[in-house]
């Protein structure tokens, strides 16, 4: 039988540590592209609802990226 067990699925997933990588704000386009692809894979795997994706991803900004994010938020407030 091919019946899925949601409890077993959650048990399996809970044993995995999959985090969104940090982003420092590299000026290299390929770094941003690689990071974006990794983030999309994690969001899809964790099934993060669309309305929670930006706030979650923003917690992983560091250095230049964090400064940019704070400036963007203050100008849009």
Q: Which residues are CB-contacts of 23 (< 8 A; sequence separation ≥ 6)?
A: 32, 35, 60, 61, 62, 65
pLDDT for 44: 95
Q: Is the pLDDT assigned to residue 2 strictly greater than 60? A: no
**Residue pLDDT, tens place only, 18-70:** 999 999 999 999 999 999 999 999 999 999 999 999 999 999 999 999 999 99
In the block, tokens 């100008």 appear at 75
Bigger pLDDT: 5 vs 31: 31
pTM over 0.75: yes
Tokens of 57: 């991803």
Closest CA to 26 of 53, 63, 56: 63
Separation of first and last alpha carbons in the chain: 53
3-state secondary structure of 30: helix
**Residue pLDDT, tens place only, 42-56:** 999 999 999 999 999
């Amino acid at each position: 039988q091919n019946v899925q067990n949601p409890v077993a699925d959650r048990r399996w997933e809970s044993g995995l540590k999959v985090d969104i990588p940090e982003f420092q704000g590299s000026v290299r386009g390929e770094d941003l592209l690689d990071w974006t692809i990794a983030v999309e894979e994690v969001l899809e795997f964790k099934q993060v609802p669309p309305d929670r994706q930006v706030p979650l991803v923003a917690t992983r900004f560091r250095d230049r990226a964090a400064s940019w994010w704070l400036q963007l938020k203050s100008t849009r407030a």
